[in-house]
Structures are given as structure tokens and as C-alpha cells.
Amino acid sequence: MKDKIKHTGAFSLIDSLVRNGTKYIFGYPGGAILPIYDELYRWEQKNLLKHILVRHEQGAAHAADGYARVTGKAGVCFATSGPGATNLVTGIATAQMDSIPLVVITGQVGSSFLGTDAFQETDIFGITLPIVKHSYLVSDVTTISRIISEAFYIAQNGRPGPVLIDIPKNLGGEEFFTSGTRLNEKSIIRYKVPRYLYRSPKYQLNLILDKIAQAKCPLLYVGGGAVSSNAFEETSVLSNYFQIPVTTTLMGKGAFDENNSLSLGMLGMHGTAYANFSVSQCDLLIAIGARFDDRVTGKLSEFAPESQTIHIDIDPAEIGKNKKPNLFLIGDIKKILAELIKIIKKRGNNAMLKNTLKWRTQILEWKQTHPLVIPNLNDSSQEVFSPQRILNILNNVAPTALITTDVGQHQMWSAQFLKCQPRKWSSSAGLGTMGYGLPAAIGNQMAFPNKLVISITGDASIQMNIQELGTISQYQLPIKILLLNNRWQGMVRQWQESFYGKRYSHSSMQAGMPDFVQLANSYGIRGKMIAPNDRIDIKQELLDEILTPGPCFIDCQITKEENCYPMVKPGKSTSEMFGVITPPNVKIASS
């Protein structure tokens, strides 16, 4: 019989986090979570894990999210009760919408005070029910180890998502005896938790391959699920074997090599013209880890109207939710595609390439006649740069960087012009959260301290969580912040111009705008403004700033009224775009 060992709830919590592979915790202390932070102090003294102090709890959730996106592992964040917990809500919802694994731990008032409206008591369990994958309110200190391990399993398996654990303050300091056996995620599957075991019937796999072999205009539509399952190689093999063009969603960026000639880039509201034309005219649409979001489909009834649809996803709830497929498979995308590839290799001899030659030729023609374009501004006579040009140059000088973005025009331009590698793209897609990019970059950099991380933002978005410059400064994270500054809420202004008669109601950010260079300097971060003159070389300027050690804040003055095109008007078919005709005085973006 094993000797019993006495531990506190806080010890059990931190021990369980470490046993489940936690290296970094992003958080902010407060009264109800102080027993946990006291225990954390001891573990940090032993270098067993590291806590990153953010300047706002929303930053903690986004940083944990950014860590999860680039590693594929659950990000962990802490906050105290009341406003600390409610400040996490936007970050939790962001992760839920984009299927990002988080383990969110909040302090709560003592068990005896629950329901009494005690100081900083808030029912965060109830508040977050619609925006989490699962949640717990801990009532028994002896269950903490199991709950933590179970949370990691649930967050990371099946369709990933955030799991909330609310822990009353008294449980942190409460002592209890254990048998010495402590759990981790691998051992938790012995308990009654979802197993996420889906098997693909062989006859369905063969049916799918038959459909692909018969198609004359096939198209792969790849979403974030392919990234979550790390199905990069399998997606590439499937596409290259059958020579099927690939278009990705905003969440799917990096799932397929965007330098490959079969890549069509992003589809949807601000997708490439050739991706949207391809969707409108394909005869077989193969949706992989995608959910037919409204920003992708436009008018749903006219999305891929002439096509049969195959839908592969791990979440049964997504099958037929928006568009009814002709065939579907439920399960882990990487495993399903691997099974398909095995059958392909057994079949051998791909005879369909001749059938699809005309289709691929048509797509090549669309690429040539409707490319992404860069306004050709004359630097010697202009006071601003085109954002498209800046991002196209950035793509060339930093092709392997980890990229985070905020939300708005700069996000869409980044998606259009930056060709990201697998798990090197972090952007709030489903919720569209302004203020996401800067703290997400912190998570990226902690995950990969020796890699280049660039946070691309706008002058409106950056001010949502600009206090996280303090976190970057404290830990001297070498993040490069690229501000595309047009002095507007850019996408709001574009919609007001296009759909609201140019009535620019409260979308200008000019009045009250700080001097970003001085602001960065005040945080101890190198700041620099880049504006055109007759001597500046924007490529060299960006390269110099990127290669200089340490964090930097680059304020790029861009065209104030530049719009993000192509654009699909809400409620219209994806083939009904405006801004796709190549205007005069432009050059084609280099591939």
C-alpha cells in the first residue's frame, strides 16, 4: 500500500498542469486566485514552468490562443474572479469560434460565499456556457488533478476548443491526502470521457475516390480543421496526385503551400477572384475541415451551384448544417486523408489528369486576367505607401516568419499577399476580434523564442490592447510590430463608402491618435515611422528593422482611402465581386 502524501489544492493544480506539458501560463493575479499564485511562485523558483504577466486578462486569453495556434497544444491562462474572469470572455469566444484548444483557469470566491453576491463574485461558469467546449466549477479539492487532465484531453481531442475551470479560493489552500498517484492526459482516457473514435467505412472512401476520378472540374476547399489535425502533407499529396486546385479559408492558411501552382489563395468575401470563380464553376467541391461560413459562401444557395459536395470534418454537427453534402466522412482529417492515399496508391495509374486539363487551363487564365494588384504609387510624389506593396515586400523579405494579425483591412490584405507556412498564421477569423494580434504575437514568441514573429495591425486595432507593449518590454520579446496606419477604422470606412453613402459615422481615428513611435519608446521599445520620400527604400527599411535584435514598432503611413478588393457584397454570390478588374497604373503582384 502506497504511503499517503499531503498536498494542497494549489499544489495539485500546478502539478497537474506541469504533468500535462504546460510550459507557459499567461495570466494576471488577483484576490481569489492568490493561493494558486503563491504555489506558482515555488514552481517558478525551480524553473518547472514560467508565468507571463500580461497587462489585461483579455491579453492572457489571446496570448494563450496564439501559443496554441502555432504549437497545436492547449494554451493555458489564469485570471481572478469577477472582472478578471469576465475580461477573459472575448478571448474565450475567439478561441471557441476558431476551434482553438485552451485551458482557462479562474479563481472564484470561497465556497461558503457562493451565491451571496460576495466581493468580486461572478458566475463565470454560467456566463461562458455558450462559448466553451466544456466547463467545471470545482467543489471537491481531491478532483483537481483529474479535472485538469480531463480538461487537456477535451480541449485537444475531437474538435478543439476552450475548457474553463473555476476554482473557489478556499480549495487552493485546502490540504488533503493522496495516494501518490497523479494523473495526466494520457491516463485520463481510462475515465468516462469522449473518445472521439470515428472510423471511415472503406466503401465510402472508395466512393469519394470514384467521385474525384469522374470529376472534370474538382476543387479542394480547405479550412482550419486541416490545420488542427496537422494534415499538411496529406492535403498536399491528394492535391498533387490528382492535380486538384486548392483554395483555403482564413483559418486554413498554411494548410497548403501557397507557392504551389495549384494554390488559389483564400476564397470568400475578400478572396482572390480566381478562387471565387473556381468555386462558382467547379463540378466537385471537396470541403476539408471547413464549415461553410457566411464570409466564405456569400449567398449560400449560389455557392458552388453546379457542384456535388464532399464534406470531411471531425464535428458531426457541421455536416449539413449550412450546406447538405452528397457524401461525407466524420473523423480526424489527417487519418481520413491518409486512408484515402493508401487506396490511391493501391489503385495506381491516375487517368483523370487528361479530364481536368481544360479546368486547370481555365484557372490559369483567371489567374492571369484577374490577379491581385498593387497600386503603383510614385514614391517621390506621394506621402504614403500602398499597403499591398508593403505586404508584398514583407512576404519576400520574411517568408518564414510567424504572422499574427488584428482584424480589418490589414488582415484581409495580409491574407491575400502573405504566403504562410504551416502553423505560422494566427488571426481571429470567426469572431473577428480587434486587439487580438499583439497578445497573440506574445504567445507565438513564447512558443518559439528563436523565430521571427511579426504582428501586423491597424491604427484602430492596435489601440484595443496596446497595453501589452508592457509585456513585450518586460520580457524583451523580439516581436516586430508592423502598423499599417491609415488613420481610419479601415474596413468600417470601406463599408460606409460602399454601402452607406459615404456617411463616415465615427470611423475616423485621426483625432486623439497618439504618436506611436514615442509611445513605443516610452515602453522601452524601438519605434520608427516609415513614410515615403525621394530617398527611402521600403524593402531595405523593413529588412533593417526585422534584422535588428529586440522588439520594434514600425509605423507605416499608408493610403488613407485604399479599399480592400476583391469584395463580395453581403448576400451576393461569390462570383459577383467588385474591384476585380485590373485598373490602369498597376502592376501584378509577384508570385
Q: How far apart are the first and last CA of the chain?
A: 67
Q: Who wins on pLDDT, 86 or 569? A: 86
C-alpha cell belonging to residue 434 = 480587434
- Exactly one of 44, 50, 113, 120 is catalytic; name it: 120
**CA gyration radius, the chain:** 25
Amino acid at 142: T
Grid coordinates representing 378 are 510614385
Length of the chain equals 591
pLDDT in tens, 87-118: 999 999 999 999 999 999 999 999 998 889 89
Does 454 lie in the same domain as 544? yes
Q: Which of 133, 169, 253, 480 is catalytic?
A: 169
What angle is formed at CA 396 by the lines to CA 395 and CA 401, rounded to 5 degrees?
A: 55
Q: Could you tell me the CATH number of the domain that includes residue 546? A: 3.40.50.970
What's 177-237 look like in SS3? EECCCCCCHHHHCCCCCCCCCCCCCHHHHHHHHHHHHHCCCEEEEECHHHHHCCCHHHHHH
Question: Is residue 119 flagged as an active site residue?
Answer: yes
575 is a domain residue = no
269, 312: one domain: yes
Can you read off the three cell numbers belonging to residue 548? 535588428
Q: Is residue 586 part of a domain?
A: no
Q: What is the pLDDT of residues 413-437, one digit of tens each?
A: 999 999 999 999 999 999 999 999 9
79, pLDDT greater than 80? yes
Q: Are residues 291 and 362 in the same domain?
A: yes
| Residue 11 domain flag | yes
Residues near 361 by Cβ (< 8 Å), separated by ≥ 6?
none
242 catalytic? Reply is no
Higher pLDDT, 350 or 43: 43
Specify whether 211 is catalytic: no
Q: Tell me which of 4, 119, 342, 358 is the catalytic residue.
A: 119
Max mean pLDDT among 4-13, 108-117, 403-412 falls in 403-412
Looking at the fold, whether 438 and 509 belong to one and the same domain comes out as: yes
Q: Is residue 351 part of a domain?
A: yes
Task: Tell whether 292 is covered by a domain.
Answer: yes
The verdict on residue 415 lying in a domain is yes
Confidence class of residue 347 from pLDDT cuts 50, 70 and 90? confident
Residue that terminates a domain, selected from 143, 162, 188: 188
Q: Is the pLDDT of residue 25 over 80?
A: yes
pLDDT of residue 353: 75
Do residues 376 and 352 share a domain?
Answer: no
| Closest to 441 measured CA to CA, from 552, 559, 353, 341 | 552
Provide the pLDDT confidence category of residue 500 given band limits of 50, 70 and 90.
very high
214 and 283, same domain (yes or no): yes
pLDDT at position 47? 96
Three-state SS annotation for 248-267: ECCCCCCCCCCCCCCEEEEC
Q: Which of 367, 389, 416 is the last residue of a domain?
A: 367
Q: Output the domain CATH number for residue 323.
A: 3.40.50.1220
Q: Is 120 a catalytic residue?
A: yes
Of the chain, the percentage scoring pLDDT greater than 70 comes to 92
Residue 345 and residue 431 in one domain: no
Strand partners, 553: 481, 527
Same domain, 229 and 167: no
**Shared domain check, 462 and 314:** no
Determine the Cα–Cα distance for residues 279 and 271; give it in Å rounded to an integer.
11
**Pair 161, 216 in one domain:** no
588 pLDDT tier (thresholds 50, 70, 90): very low
- Beta strands of 314-383 (E only): which ranges? 327-330, 373-375
Question: Where in the sequence is the domain holding 30, given as residue range(s)?
Answer: 5-188
User: Quick one: 307 and 417 in the same domain?
Assistant: no
170 and 267 together in one domain: no
Q: Name the E strands within 289-387.
A: 308-313, 327-330, 373-375
Determine the Cα–Cα distance for residues 189 and 183; give it in Å rounded to an integer: 10
Q: How many domains does the chain have?
A: 3
Residue 57: active-site member: yes
Half-sphere exposure (CA, 13 Å, Cβ side) for 179?
5
- At residue 123, the pLDDT reads 96
Is the predicted pLDDT of residue 193 greater than 70, yes or no?
no
Write down the pLDDT at residue 184.
Answer: 66
**Catalytic option among 11, 26, 57, 251:** 57
Q: Of 367, 398, 420, which closes a domain?
A: 367
Active-site annotation holder among 97, 269, 491, 577: 491
Of the CA atoms within 13 Å of residue 186, those in its CB half-sphere come to: 3
pLDDT number for residue 313: 96
- Per-chain mean pLDDT for the chain: 92
Q: Is 42 contained in some domain? A: yes
Q: Would you say residue 576 lies in a domain?
A: no
Secondary structure in 3-state letters for 518-569: HHHHHCCCEEEEECCCCCCCHHHHHHHHHHCCCCEEEEEEECCCCCCCCEEC
Name the pTM for this structure. 0.94
